[in-house]
Structures are given as structure tokens and as C-alpha cells.
A and B are shown apart, each in its own frame.
Chain A
Amino acid sequence: MAHGSRQVGLPTWVFVPAAAGALFVVLPLAAILTRVEWSDFFSLITSDSSVDALQLSLRTSSVSTLLCVVFGVPMAMVLARTSFRGQQLMRSLVLLPLVLPPVVGGIALLYTFGRRGLLGHTFEVLGIEVAFSTTAVVLAQTFVALPFLVVSLEGALRTAGGRYEAVASTLGARPTTVFRRVTLPLVLPGLVSGAVLSFARALGEFGATITFAGSLQGVTRTLPLEIYLQRESDADAAVALSLVLVIVAVVVIGLARGRGEI
């Protein structure tokens, strides 16, 4: 406890379920560590299929995060700084992927961008096939990760409030200048943590990806898919790759917390 701070004592019994809950989270991670074949660890995570999957995951997650920023920042601004009829409904819809089972998201995407989907024909005419391509992986990841960025940033925008922006505008700054020189710097921590969360979510994406993009090595088989497949044939490899994802997750949370957010 910080020096000089005082707080009302907690009921003693609270510590029991709290400890049990913490254990519930930490124990499985420890279990992975006990099962890792340390002697083969390096060769397991550097096999062709593993490296392919890791590279694909990092590449697609980066692009997804970029897309989340490109679309999520304007979405958060519209949600936080304007009011219009149906805004609540709009917000709920935008956040839907947060609670939607990813596999349902994958099916939805399939019937939007797939060959027989809503926009499938349009894309076919343009000579673009989306489903079961790396593009599909990116779309699936963006679909599930976008709400994280929007929620994070909208919160930051609301906390920052519109008063600095109002002052900036009375000083003669056009809306774009206000956005660039005032809004963006003020919410940068929120934006960074939102982007980090989106990246993490994209990296762990499984259900929507396997439904919408399939599992083709080097094309659509991301690390979570690789782990799932390896589990059948080579449990040691699956455990090793799982550890890699755990490490990435820990680094991501560290980055986000380092910004004082979350």
C-alpha cells in the first residue's frame, strides 16, 4: 500500500475467492511451462510450419491493427464527439464482435465476402477472391479486433473531453488542425493501448479465421491454427508454440500497462 494511504479494511473472507481466482488464471500458464520439452524447444518453434505460421500471424495481425486504426479512430471520434439518432444502436452494433462467438463472425464474413456472399459477386467481377486467402485472415482479425480499438479510444476521447478542442477552435484552428494538434496528442495513450489490444486480439484469432479463411500453410494458417493442428500430431510442438503466444501476450500487456492504460 502506498505510504500514507488509508483504506477501509476488506472482509477477510474476500481473500479466499480472490486467491482462488488468481490461481485459476496462473495455474494453467504454469502447467504449460511444466510440459514444455525444453531440450527440443528451439527446434520445435523453428520448424518450417511453425515459422510460416508465426510469420503469417505477425504479418496479418500488423495489417489488421493498421486497419483497426484507420477505421477505428474515425469511428471512435464519431461516437464520442457527435450525437445523432440511433447512435446508441450504432455503438452496440460496432461492439457486437466483442460478444459474438468468433465462429459466427467467420460465417458472417463468409456470407459477405465469400464467392456466394453479399459482395462476393462484385469481388469476383473485379477478379478478387477473398475467402480462403491471406486477405480473409486479415478481414477476420480486423472484424474481431476493431471493437477493442473503438472502445479504448472512445473512452479516452470522452475522458479528455471536448474543452481543449473548443479552445483550439476559438484560437483559429480548423477541425483538421484541432484533430492533428490537440485531439490526437491528448488521446495518444488511449490510442496506443487500443492498438496494442487490437493486435493481441488479432494475434489470438482462431474461430473466425478457420471458418472464413481455412487453414492453408503459409497462406491462412496462423499460429493459433497451427497450434490446434499440431495438438493432434505433435503435442510437444503445440505446447512450445503455445508458450510463444503466452510470451507475446505478456509482452503486449506489459507494453499496454507501460502506457498507464488498461
Chain B
Amino acid sequence: MSLEVSATVSDRGFELSMHVGVGETLAVLGPNGSGKSTAMSVIAGLLRPDAGTASLDGRVLFDVGTAGKSVWVPPHDRGVALLAQEPLLFPHLSALDNVAFGPRSLGQARSKSRTLAEHWLEQVDAAQYADRRPAQLSGGQAQRIAVARALAADPRLLLLDEPMAALDVAVAPAIRQMLRKVLQDRSAVIVTHDVLDALLLADRVLVVEDGHVVEEGPTVELLARPRSAFAARIAGLNMVRGSLDGHGVRGPDDLLVEGIADQPIGQGDPAVAVFRPSAVGVYRQPPGGSPRNVMGVTITELEPFGDQIRVRTDRLSADITATAVAELDLAPGTDVIFTVKASEVAIYRS
């Protein structure tokens, strides 16, 4: 195991533990204010938790709040580099000197540091910007150089705190590609809002809500079978959480969603039903015919989603064509019926 950390920050209601395997990239997902950045600060040594322990490659980073001696390794001695939302390139240094900052600080000679910096600038396809000042760089270029700077410090663990959040939508894919390349076989934690980041960059996903881990698992598995509301939302899936009742999940408001369980679940056990918005039918009147789940909902929002319209309601979403929206005369506030075939609903133990 590369990183193991568990920490409590009382005044932020933060209490979580996580681990990162050697060479593994962990994505941390969660709504704003859920404690993702707090976790990064704690691991980097910029925020002292009230209690907790952490070790990186077998070396203790901190051990505080327990009786006896407390250990606190300062940030510069941790081998943990932090890449933030904004590049935060030192404005008074050229791109090359920014990248050489880490090696220089770690005691490398000037010429060796510059050679290393040139190497890492090439790795992020930014060698041509070596002599520029940060003020002369675009957001995407600056973030590339910030990545190079973090990597040049030869960290044992790389923390990326929403590295693409402040970038133009047009630039993000290229940066994501570049990160995909440099994160291979590297121990890293990436905080993100974007399911694509998790899917493309991470081996494993951790979902944090209100300072606590609510879900954890291999990326592909978790995105296909999200159990927390947040993971379901970003994965674009509908989710009804409740307890198993017959062949379905009995959720809040007595909503029953029947589906197919992939493993035996006991009656009354906590369970979650998941289905895609595209599998949902939208009606004004309850339809007859084949057995389906029927759910009364109130529309809150209509928004374009690819070539369809995503109909958001107080609890679920449906993807239907614009024509259907017009024919049904849908608008926010309209009460409608959602239907979904049981065969389209997957049920998991939660």
C-alpha cells in the first residue's frame, strides 16, 4: 500500500479514511463542500487534523490526537506534491524555472535541475513555453506546466485537486489525455466533479459526502452500479434507495421500483434500484399494458442532453426526444408519470 490515511477535522465535520495502492490512481468524487479538498490539504500537510494517522510508503506522515507522542512531518518533507485547480505558477519565474523549482529545493544542482525541468516540460508537451513567464501563458498551457512542476519534484504521491475545473471546456480533453499518460503507474489521488476524469484517469473511485466516505470501489463497477446519490447523478443514472420489498426496492414516499437483483438480497435489507434515464417513459396518463414501474413525479427542469432532452423531476430523470416534450406539452411544474420496465432496473445491496 502506498498511502494510508485516516483523519478527523472536527470543525468541518470531516472524518474519513482512504488508501491508495502503489501505482494506483484514486478518484475522489463528491459534491462541493463535501470535504474533498480538506482531505487533500490533510495529506499534503497544509492542514493539521484533530486526530488521525497517515503513512506513505511505510513512512509515517502524521500521527496526531492519540495519547503519547505525536508525529507531524512538514509538507516539504512528505514527498507529496499538490496540483490545484489553478496552476499557481510562481509569477516571477519563467516556466522552466517554475518546473526546476522542485529539484532545486530538493538540493539538485542548477544545471541538473534545468535538465530535469526540460525533460518534464517535454513530457507534458510544453517544451516550447520554457522561456515564457506565467502571465504570457493561457490557462491550459499554465496547467500543463504546473503538472510538469509537480512531477519534477519527484513526489511519491501526486494530489490533483480538480485540475481541470478552471480550464476552458475546449482545453480540458487535451489536459486529460496528458494526465492519463503521466499518471500511468503513479500513485495519485484526483479530486474531480467529472465522471469522465474518474473513468479515464482513475483505477478506483471514492465518493465523499459531508466529510464521510459513502461509497468506494473500482471505477467501472462503481459507475455502472452507483449506490450513493452523488455517484448516481454524475453517472447520469436514476437511483432509488430503500429496502428490498418483494422484487423491488421500497423507497421514500412508499415508491416501489421493481427490478432484477444480481445477487440474492434478503427481504427488508437495504437496497438500491438503478436505471438509466433513457429507459424511462414519460406519460400524462397512467399507461396500460405490460407490467412496469409507474411513478408520479413533478417536473423541475428541462435541459438539453446530447440530442435529447433530460427531464429532471423532484427525484428522478428521464431522457426523451424534443418532439416528445412538445407533444406532451411538458414544462417545469407539470405532473407526469414516469414508467420503466422492471427488466431495465438493476437492484443492488446497499
Contacts and interface: CB of A to CB of B under 8 A. Distances in A.
A171 B82 CA distance: 8
A171 B147 CA distance: 11
Contact of A172 (B90, B102, B159): B102
Interface string B74-100: 111111111010001011100000000
Interface string A230-255: 00000000000000000000000000
Contacts of A172: 76-77, 79, 102, 105-106, 153
A168 B75 CA distance: 9
Contacts, number: 66
Given A163-B84, A181-B101, A169 B76 contact: yes
B22 to A, nearest CB: 20
A175 B75 CA distance: 10
B44 A170 contact: yes
B166 to A, nearest CB: 13
A167 B88 contact: yes
Interface in A160-208: 163-164, 166-175, 177-178, 181-182, 185-186
B193 interface: no
B204 interface: no
B46 A168 contact: no
A170 B105 contact: no
Contacts of A164: 88, 90
Contacts of B77: 172
A174 B44 contact: no
Given A169-B75, A186-B91, A174 B82 contact: no
B61 interface: no
Contacts of B102: 171-172
A78 B153 CA distance: 28
Contacts of B91: 186
Contacts of B150: 170-171
A163 B45 CA distance: 13
B149 interface: yes
Interface string B38-68: 0000001110000000000000000000000
A168 B106 contact: no
A163 B88 contact: yes
Contacts of B88: 163-164, 167
Contact of A186 (B44, B92, B155): B92
A185 B149 CA distance: 19
Nearest to B103: A172
Interface string B120-155: 000000000000000000000000000001100101
Nearest to B86: A163
B80 A168 contact: no
Contacts of A174: 76, 105
A136 to B, nearest CB: 39
Contact of A182 (B79, B90, B153): B90
B50 to A, nearest CB: 17
B84 A167 contact: yes
Contacts of A163: 84, 88
A164 B45 CA distance: 15
A164 B90 CA distance: 7
Given A166-B46, A168-B90, A173 B84 contact: no
Interface in A30-50: none
B92 A170 contact: no
A137 B198 CA distance: 66
Given A174-B76, A182-B90, A168 B105 contact: yes
Contacts of A173: 76, 101, 105
Contacts of A166: 44, 46, 75, 82
Given A171-B102, A172-B76, A172-B105, 7 more contacts: A163-B88, A166-B82, A170-B46, A170-B78, A171-B150, A172-B106, A174-B105
9 contacts: A167-B88, A168-B90, A170-B76, A170-B82, A171-B81, A172-B77, A173-B101, A181-B90, A181-B101
Interface of A: 163-164, 166-175, 177-178, 181-182, 185-186
Interface of B: 44-46, 74-82, 84, 88, 90-92, 101-102, 104-106, 149-150, 153, 155, 159
